[in-house]
A = this chain, B = another copy of it.
Amino acid sequence: MSILKGAAVVGQSGGPTAAINATLAGVIKGAIENPEAITKLYGMRNGIEGFIGERICDLSEMFTSSYGVADEEKLSLLAATPAAALGSCRKKLPKPEDDKAFFENLISLFKKYDVRYFFYIGGNDSMDTVAKLTAYLKDCDYEMKVMGVPKTIDNDLAGTDHTPGFGSAAKYIAATVSEIIRDCAVYTVPAVTIVEIMGRDAGWLTASAGLPALLGRQAPDYIYLPEVPFSMSAFLDDVREALKKHPNVVIAVSEGVRDENGKYAGESAQSGVTDAFGHKYLSGTGKALEMAVKAEIGCKVRSIELNLPQRCAAHLQSATDIAESRGVGAAAVAAAVAGKTGCMMAMDRCEGEYAVEFNAKEIAGIANAVRSVPREMINEAGNYVTDECLKYIYPLVQGEMTNKYENGLPVHFVI
């Protein structure tokens, strides 16, 4: 087999996670260690949007030590840095048939920098970019290997057992909700605490709040996911029931819970704004539930939105997630060098003791599909997840990192 030789570009796209830079570190290491194929690795600043504006940087130079090998210290710092170090974008590519000029321009830029490898780290929308570029390249005489590398805290990508970034977010959520439960336990006055967790369509993150239950520790009283139609009256009945048992009721709820007609619980608090991909911008689900409890039950109640920290709390990364995130980045490079293209690098769970295998899978069929929590992983009443669900998440939060602190604060690597 002849190896395609040229430069590579890597970009990050979509929402930040605590592990997306670990995947970038994996791609960088993979590129530096495959000099027979990759002559140089460029980073796109702010994803494909920045690349079009030729805002790129030389990652090979930045991460090669003076000994000519990958600089492990810098890579570790990068992996411990939250959010996309290269910057991100939310640009949706046109369809190749709709805007040929867009793709012609892109190809001319690839030619200008002799780019033969394209790595794009992101979620659903980023895989859409990979799919469109792949589709265009099929009828084009420019040879390039295009690989998607998954990333999303939402864990909602199809074709992979789970997504890099999810494990760290799940660990943060499980640990933080455990701490909130301890905080709420100190008073004897009946009180309801509602923790709103990210997840527009998929409830995986909210499900993670239940992890302590698997270990026989205190967990939220109820867990509501967007996969099951949300009923405010059933919710209020649940809260009344819980208050009969103990005074400190803690609820975990996905931001995306909605009723059987698709009306979001937080809809009243919404701006009606949608993002570039047409997703409704949500906020205030916890607040809406808080107001309902106050009005209908009348006890002390508060809502807590875990907000950005659940996706950027690199100080509480899962060691399993970080190892896998680095691994999947390096595996994407290896697969591309071996000739794969038009694929997403997926993680398949092995039988028996927990481990993953990295497998390149055709991007078509993966992009734009959403993997929700299956109904059978949610209890019949729709107000908790099953042990099977928790056992699926459990291995992904294992292990702690010993990230570098300097003068009392975590050190981040700024590109």
Contact = CB atoms under 8 A, between A and B. Distances in A.
Interface of A: 12, 16, 46, 49, 81-84, 87-90, 171, 174-176, 178-180, 182-188, 193, 211-212, 215, 217-218, 304-305, 307-309, 311-316, 318, 394, 397-400, 405-410, 412, 414
Given A309-B180, A318-B408, A399-B408, A88 B187 contact: yes
Contacts of A16: 182-183, 186
Contacts of A89: 187-188
A139 to B, nearest CB: 32
A185 B305 CA distance: 21
Nearest to A18: B179
12 contacts: A87-B185, A87-B188, A89-B188, A174-B408, A176-B313, A180-B309, A217-B409, A304-B305, A304-B307, A316-B316, A400-B405, A400-B408
B304 A183 contact: no
Given A87-B188, A188-B46, A304-B307, A183 B408 contact: no
A312 B180 contact: yes
A322 to B, nearest CB: 13
Contacts of A308: 179-180, 183-184, 193, 304
A315 B176 CA distance: 8
Question: Which of A171, A183, A309, A412: most chain B Cβ within 10 A?
Answer: A183
Nearest to A411: B217
Contacts of A175: 315, 409-410
Given A399-B408, A408-B394, A182 B215 contact: no
Given A179-B410, A184-B308, 11 more contacts: A46-B186, A49-B188, A83-B185, A87-B187, A88-B186, A176-B315, A211-B408, A305-B307, A315-B316, A316-B316, A400-B405
A398 B408 contact: yes
A178 B218 CA distance: 30
Nearest to A410: B175
A182 B411 CA distance: 11
Contact of A312 (B87, B90, B182, B211): B182
Nearest to A306: B309
Contacts of A307: 304-305
A208 to B, nearest CB: 10
Given A16-B182, A187-B46, A309-B176, A409 B211 contact: yes
A130 B78 CA distance: 50
Question: Which of A82, A174, A305: most chain B Cβ within 10 A?
Answer: A82
Contacts of A398: 407-408
B176 A412 contact: no
A185 to B, nearest CB: 7
B88 A412 contact: no
A316 B188 CA distance: 27
A179 B218 CA distance: 28
Closest 4 CB pairs of A and B: A88-B186, A183-B312, A397-B408, A83-B182
A171 B408 contact: yes
Contact of A87 (B186, B399, B406): B186
Nearest to A294: B271
A81 B215 CA distance: 17
A309 to B, nearest CB: 6
A308 B187 CA distance: 14
Contacts of A174: 408-409
Contact of A410 (B178, B183, B186, B193): B178
Contact of A178 (B176, B183, B412): B412
A304 to B, nearest CB: 5
Contacts of A188: 46, 49, 87, 89
B313 A82 contact: no
